[in-house]
Amino acid sequence: MPLIPENIIACLDCDLLQRVSSLPDGATARCRRCGHTLAQSKPDSLNRTLALAAAAAIALIVANITPLMGLSAAGRHSRTTILGGAREMWIQGQEIGAMVVVFCTVIAPAVHIAIMLTVLITARRDPVPYWAGTLLRWSNRNQPWAMVEVMMLGILVALVKIADVATVIPGIGMFAAGVLVALVTAMTVTFDPNEIWKRVEWINGEKRPGSTGGQSAGIAGKRSANVGPVTGMKRGLVSCECCGLLSKPVDIHGPGKCPRCGEKLALRRHNAIQRTWALIVAAAICYIPANVLPVMVSKTLVGAPEGDTIISGVALLYKTGSWHLALIVLIASVVIPLAKIMALAYLLITVRHRSMKGQRERLRLYRLVTFVGRWSMLDVFVVTFTVALIQLDPIISIKPGGGVLFFAAVVILTMVAAEKFDPRLIWDSNNE
Ligand SMILES: [Zn+2]
Ligand SMILES: [Zn+2]
């Protein structure tokens, strides 16, 4: 597979070929067509991220072994940890919901931190062994599902909800989870994966490119009115969506795997339009039971068990005076999932019609959809921690309702749908 010089990049959001020269500390290079960040120079990135990852590992352990919060009402006490919350969901018959919670709050964050620690310690060697690249590739897949910050907001909402019926005592675990959120966010800000990719051994045994001579001539930077912008696709070049390496495969329609990180290469994501449609239709179907079925069922000494849907939960928060939390839950749980489905449908339709209008705006919409998607998981965490604490039989007990499962399904389906859509399709009508 012929190699392209390292400073030639195809933008991952619009496929425009451009040359990126070395950047001064703290500088960012953006795509001149769509504004996507092509490269960022972060001073002392690896050492700083390593220190943060080590601290995050400690915070993660403390957050998982100490109680998140305790509750006392009518002489009864209960408390819960993160895993205890998921366990209660499992006991109450929501096994799938429990698994989703464990994966998003414990497994995915732990995998993320463990991989970062391993990769960053290994990166002190030169060259960096190829398996560190493989780990980084796995981490890319895993990271969207690590939702400690969404869980944290879920805990706070549950706390306010419960404070209405009982005295809640925040535990050490909750503060540790707060510290974890700050550390994980700081890790994302300081980490520059390019520092690793530049020095990693290639998975196929080829050496790093360094410079491969004069192949760059004429690849990037040219543009004329009748030819249109020069994209990777036009030149038979394909960029790796994981490590950003640009290569010229022998067969452009079956480009194989990235020679550096092993990611499957594709000119455009495979069957992007059909897959995204299928996933958003499925999400739209699940959206109905998610809103109609109760997400929580509460049973008290007097009266029949009472079901709470997402909307009635919002109304309750509003009535008890927490209008700001009511608004957050309403936006995260009702508005965002529906808006995501509609936004993706709009993007698919405009791509189908090869529309050339508002491409930058449509790309921004796509980025917004991928950015906010995870926050819809909020209500799943609210239910988990409310259920875990309010098990004060026979005075009051709360069980998760069937709506939770459908709700989690909507969030997962729309997140995967956004991942299957290919933003480069938005720009392809310019490239004919
Ligand atoms: Zn671009
Ligand atoms: Zn790659």
| pLDDT for position 74 | 73
221 within domain boundaries? no
Q: How far apart are the CA of 217 and the centre of ligand 2, in A?
A: 23
145 within domain boundaries? yes
Q: How far apart are the CA of 36 and the centre of ligand 1, in A?
A: 5
| pLDDT for position 429 | 82
Other beta carbons less than 10 A from residue 167's beta carbon:
11
Q: What is the mean pLDDT of the chain?
A: 89
Which residues place a Cβ less than 5 A from the ion ligand 2?
240, 242-243, 245, 258, 260-261, 263
Q: How far apart are the CA of 201 and the centre of ligand 1, in A?
A: 28
Q: Which ligand is nearest to the CA of 1?
A: 2
Q: How far apart are the CA of 268 and the centre of ligand 2, in A?
A: 15
Q: How far apart are the CA of 4 and the centre of ligand 2, in A?
A: 13
Closest CA to 406 of 313, 311, 308, 288: 288
3-state secondary structure of 201: coil
| pLDDT for position 207 | 62
Q: Which ligand is nearest to the CA of 261?
A: 2
Q: How far apart are the CA of 215 and the centre of ligand 2, in A?
A: 20
- As a whole number, mean pLDDT of residues 69-80 equals 82
Q: Which ligand is nearest to the CA of 246?
A: 2
Q: How far apart are the CA of 249 and the centre of ligand 2, in A?
A: 13
- As a whole number, mean pLDDT of residues 385-403 equals 86
H helix or E strand, kind and range, residue 229: strand 228-229
Q: How far apart are the CA of 203 and the centre of ligand 2, in A?
A: 9
245 within domain boundaries? no
Q: Inform me whether the pLDDT recorded for 212 exceeds 50.
A: no
- Residues 324-344: tens digit of each pLDDT: 888 988 998 899 999 999 999
Return the top range by mean pLDDT from 89-93, 280-284, 303-307, 328-332: 280-284
Domain range holding 343?
A: 45-198+270-431
- As a whole number, mean pLDDT of residues 278-283 equals 98
Q: What are phi and psi of 416, to 5 degrees?
A: -65, -40
| pLDDT for position 1 | 61
Q: Which ligand is nearest to the CA of 427?
A: 1
H helix or E strand, kind and range, residue 40: strand 37-40
104 within domain boundaries? yes
CB neighbour class for 296 (10 Å; exposed up to 12, middle 13-18, buried from 19)? buried
144 within domain boundaries? yes
- As a whole number, mean pLDDT of residues 263-283 equals 95
End-to-end CA distance of the chain: 26
Q: How far apart are the CA of 278 and the centre of ligand 2, in A?
A: 28
Q: How confident is the model at residue 7 (pLDDT cuts 50, 70, 90)?
A: confident
Contact 221/13 with Cβ under 8 angstroms? no
227 within domain boundaries? no
Q: How far apart are the CA of 133 and the centre of ligand 2, in A?
A: 9
| pLDDT for position 227 | 53
Other beta carbons less than 10 A from residue 383's beta carbon:
30
Lowest mean pLDDT among 46-55, 220-229, 233-242, 330-339: 220-229
Q: How far apart are the CA of 363 and the centre of ligand 1, in A?
A: 9
Distances (CA, A) of 184 to 27, 143, 254, 260, 276: 22, 11, 37, 27, 30
67 within domain boundaries? yes
279 within domain boundaries? yes
Q: How far apart are the CA of 263 and the centre of ligand 2, in A?
A: 5
Contact 317/326 with Cβ under 8 angstroms? yes
H helix or E strand, kind and range, residue 346: helix 336-352
Distances (CA, A) of 155 to 17, 34, 35, 293: 45, 37, 36, 22
Q: What is the pTM of this model?
A: 0.90
Q: How far apart are the CA of 329 and the centre of ligand 2, in A?
A: 38
Q: How confident is the model at residue 218 (pLDDT cuts 50, 70, 90)?
A: very low
**Domains in the chain: how many in total?**
1
Which residues place a Cβ less than 5 A from the ion ligand 1?
11, 13-14, 31, 33-34, 36
Q: How far apart are the CA of 407 and the centre of ligand 2, in A?
A: 34
Q: How far apart are the CA of 191 and the centre of ligand 1, in A?
A: 21
